[in-house]
Amino acid sequence: MPTPAEELRAAAQKLRETADAASPGPWSVNDWGNVQTARHEEVAEVWPLQSKPDANAAYIALMDPDVGHALARLLEHQADASDRLAQLFDDPPLIPDDHPALAVARALNGDR
């Protein structure tokens, strides 16, 4: 079973790889309710399904690759902090099971 720090790093890597493969940000919602890049390239056509019109597109646009990279750095920062504390106190990683960063990592890793 992976340690919490390993879970955080795995999620950061997955997020960074996915963000690297995506069209560059920033993203926005165009007049037709689709997600587009700053160069007006459509990256996603979004149908509202059960949400209000443009809600899905606005969310996708908000979570552009720049946000993904920032989240990956945050997850790695938390993993590094856990490792430093573990070395300092000669203990296993000190991330509680209900830590918000670990919840994000588990959601990204598919381990909700």
What is the residue type of 36?
Q
Residues 6+ positions from 35 with CB-CB distance below 8 Å: 27, 28, 29, 42, 43, 44, 46, 57, 60, 61
What pLDDT is attached to residue 56?
80
d(CA 73, CA 9): 9
Block mean pLDDT (10 aa), the chain, length 112: 89 94 90 88 78 80 93 94 79 75 92 68
Token pair for residue 7?
């879970």
What pLDDT is attached to residue 94?
67
Q: What is the value of pTM for the model shown? A: 0.82
d(CA 48, CA 67): 23
pLDDT in tens, 18-47: 999 988 889 999 888 889 998 888 888 777
d(CA 55, CA 88): 45
